Chains A and B, each alone.
Chain A
Amino acid sequence: MVEILEESTGKDGRRVLKVAKENLVQLMKELKSHGFVHLSLITGIDRKDRLEVVYHLQNLEKNEYIAVKTETLDERVPSVTSVFTSANWDEREQYDLMGIVFEGHPNLKRLFLPESWVGHPLRKNYDISKVQYINMDENGEDYATFDPGDGW
């Protein structure tokens, strides 16, 4: 069994397990073998000094619910796509908007924004006053630019 750093109950009455990021994939595998087959949501939270990633899992047969938390100081977290296919787009979204790099992800590209977008909008230190414009290049692919005169 994987070492659990901390176990608590959230405000919504759900069990929260906290693990070190090295043990994350192992814990996910164990939970999946215990019937937690439905990965509902992956959330990245910017705590300013560190990044937190929360996984919400559900056991459909026993109707049990669990949240798994892990933390990272260097923006890197192991990917759980090898355990849950549904993590694929969730992790891409969190990489896109929060800037968390999921190591071992098969196709870690931005999901919503063009690849040339600068910064990750959901970070607390992201400057929303700097406007970026999206334009289309000759091959029909989107790109982001700071220059409002570029095609606008």
Chain B
Amino acid sequence: MMGPRISNPDENGWVELNMGPQHPSTHGVLRLKVKLDGEIVREVEPVIGYLHRNAEKICELDYYCDSMIYFDRMDYVGAMNMEVGYLEAAEKLLGIPPPERVQWIRVVMAELSRVASHLVWAGAFGLDLGMLTPFFYCFVEREKILRIFVEACGSRQETNYMSIGGVYQDFNDKLIHDILEFTEQFPKKLEDIFNAYVKNDIFISRTKGIGILEPEVALDYGVTGPMLRASGVDYDVRKAEPYLVYDKINFDIPVSHKKDNLARFLVRFEEMRQSIKIINQAVKKIPDGPYFNPKAKKSLMIRLRGEGEVYARTESSKGEFGVYLVGDGGVKPYRVRVRSPSLKNLSVLPYLAKDQMIADMVAISGTTDLVFGEVDR
């Protein structure tokens, strides 16, 4: 039997409220133990682990190439970024660099995935604030990206498109045509969605000046990604430590100094515009050549052996995604460790939500962009 949802008031007159794990505004299975003083939040304790599968242990029990599907299921709305993150580490450890063509293809796919992830976030954030309409516009656009993924590899979300040293299927002319068609019509649609949010007075009053995150605090808590850049710290792994071919592409990192919910919203929308810019450049620059490294043919894949330690970081749609691989010379990794940006971004929520209204706490947890496949792993 379930205990009472709201406790009796304690000596301060505060009551304890349990939010989640099944709650529409917790984006999955986040459970928040909240101490309320009227409508003001005094204390928050996030309780996580409801989606815990221990992917790190499962990866240790599998061959290097098999771990890919577990990484897909971490950040399931931006799965391509997870694949890129794992392969950055695995390819360095195994000594199998991807050919030039593959690197450009991966950039295109990772950026499409970032746009899809931000669109899901934008739609869900609207729902958190009670706006239903933009959600549909966001998901229509996201569906177009998922159609491109289906064209490339046959799967919508957990794509499993990339493999060690290459990709499973080559890009063809139709795919490139589809991508260019998407990037041509998308910017106008994006502005429509953007205006649906920022021209709404209620949206502005719910976000502006709420959830102020100072840059020192953000760094101290290990916050990365759009949340950190909205606090005024210009840090993006794509520029700080370029991987794939990001150093050959011309794009900007949006930074805002307003530090509030609205700043995080604006930074994510500007990131989508920059992603389209990256895709447009990268699609046209994909060189000819093989689409996998011959050292990692499918028949040889499970015989790959790795020794040493590699820590590789990439910029996923949520922030700095790191994979630390330790190999002992066998066909399976000795230790796999994942830095999930959502987990660190969630850890700052008790600080941000303290002494805010309970409705604002929902808005703040919305801007942290949580995906529980990744938080719990």
Contact = CB atoms under 8 A, between A and B. Distances in A.
Q: Do A and B come from one complex?
A: yes
Contacts of B308: 10-11
A85 to B, nearest CB: 5
Contacts of A138: 1, 3
Contacts of A90: 222
Most buried by B among A38, A97, A113: A38
Contact of A56 (B93, B220, B311, B344): B311
Interface string A35-62: 0011111010110000000101000100
Contacts of B347: 86, 88-89
Interface in B345-377: 347, 376
Contacts, number: 92
A37 B219 contact: yes
A71 to B, nearest CB: 14
B344 to A, nearest CB: 6
Interface stretch (B46-54, B123-131, B145-153, B154-162): B46-54
Contact of A113 (B1, B52, B339): B52
Nearest to A94: B337
Contacts of A84: 220, 222
A121 to B, nearest CB: 5
A1 interface: no
A10 B222 contact: no
A97 B320 CA distance: 22
A121 B266 CA distance: 41
B92 interface: yes
Contact of A45 (B48, B57, B311, B335): B335
B4 to A, nearest CB: 9
Nearest to B324: A43
Interface string B211-253: 0000000011110000000000101000011000000000000
Chain B contact residues, majority secondary structure? mixed
Interface of B: 1-3, 18, 48-49, 52, 54, 56-57, 60, 92-93, 219-222, 233, 235, 240-241, 308-313, 320, 322, 324, 326, 334-335, 337, 339, 343-344, 347, 376
30 contacts: A10-B308, A10-B311, A12-B310, A12-B312, A38-B222, A40-B222, A40-B320, A40-B322, A41-B324, A41-B339, A43-B324, A45-B335, A56-B311, A63-B241, A65-B241, A67-B311, A85-B221, A86-B222, A86-B344, A86-B347, A88-B347, A89-B344, A89-B347, A90-B222, A97-B54, A97-B57, A111-B49, A112-B49, A122-B60, A140-B3
Chain A contact residues, majority secondary structure? loop
Nearest to A128: B57
A10 B343 CA distance: 26
B233 A39 contact: no
Nearest first, the 3 A-B pairs at minimum CB distance are A86-B222, A112-B49, A11-B308
A85 B313 CA distance: 21
Contacts of B322: 40-41, 56
Contacts of B57: 97, 121-122, 128
A121 B222 contact: no
Nearest to A123: B57
Contacts of B240: 60, 63
A14 interface: yes
B18 A140 contact: yes
A122 B320 contact: no
A55 to B, nearest CB: 11
Most buried by A among B18, B219, B320, B334: B219
A129 interface: no
A112 B310 contact: no
Given A11-B92, A11-B308, A56-B324, 6 more contacts: A40-B322, A41-B311, A85-B222, A112-B54, A113-B52, A122-B60
Nearest to A112: B49
Contacts of B60: 122
